[in-house]
Amino acid sequence: MLITLDGPAGVGKTTLAKKLAEKLQIAYLDSGAMFRGLAYYLGQDKLNLSEEGLKPILNNFQFQLVLEGKDYFLYLNQKKLGEEIRTEEVGFLASSLGKLKVVRDFLKAEQQRLAENTSLVAEGRDMGTVVFPQADYKFFLDADCEERAKRRYKQLKMLGKEADLTLILEQIKQRDEQDRNRPIAPLKPAADAIIIDTTRLSLEEVFLKILSYIK
């Protein structure tokens, strides 16, 4: 079974995809974490390289999806990806890397390799449109950017972190703009995706809605 969950930053994909994978007892693939992992290890200066220059560097990277207890974790070259990739700076760099064809081709092949012989829930921007067009169920989650900014703000506050709502809203808008308007694999629903506007729904309501479609 293959389920894709796509949507913009801060819409709740990660929480929902994890919850869904746990409920269905299948693997969970966070494709955003793969873009973030590359961004974290490559750094800002590699963005100045030509795509030809980047290609051999990318070939030194390999991802692993590892089951530990009942959860799946992503490793990049044997190193577990953790909180270090979760900053907005890494997120924006990931989004910038995501504009490059050479990066998208490399990660698409990695994502498809990780999904070989495994049922999974894959979340990201182009899971249903480009990477897993054959998925059994495709969902596209959306919400107003103000609502997504508020959710991210609350999440950070709950973790006891500093947060500035105006700045978060600005960052979300910037990343949306970049993800929706890139020529290759832009953020958009697949023609056969089930679109859910989550602006006025709780996480539990969205989860139940998703489950109601899955036989």
Contacts of 109 (CB under 8 A, 6+ apart): none
Expressed in angstroms, the distance from the first to the final Cα of the chain is 11
40 touches 90 (CB < 8 A): yes
Least distance in Å: CB of 32 to ligand DC?
2
Measured from the CB atom, is 74 or 210 closer to ligand DC? 74
Least distance in Å: CB of 43 to ligand DC?
15
Alpha-carbon gap, residue 114 to 83, rounded angstroms: 22
Binding mask 101-140 for ligand DC (x = CB under 6 A): -----------------------xxxx-------------
Q: Does the footprint of ligand DC cover residue 94 (CB under 6 A)?
A: yes
Alpha-carbon gap, residue 41 to 90, rounded angstroms: 10
Token pair in block for residue 41:
């290890």
Sites for ligand DC among residues 4-23 (CB under 6 A): 9
Least distance in Å: CB of 215 to ligand DC?
26
Which residues contribute to the site for ligand DC (CB under 6 A)? Answer: 9, 31-32, 35-36, 91, 94-95, 98, 124-127, 175, 179
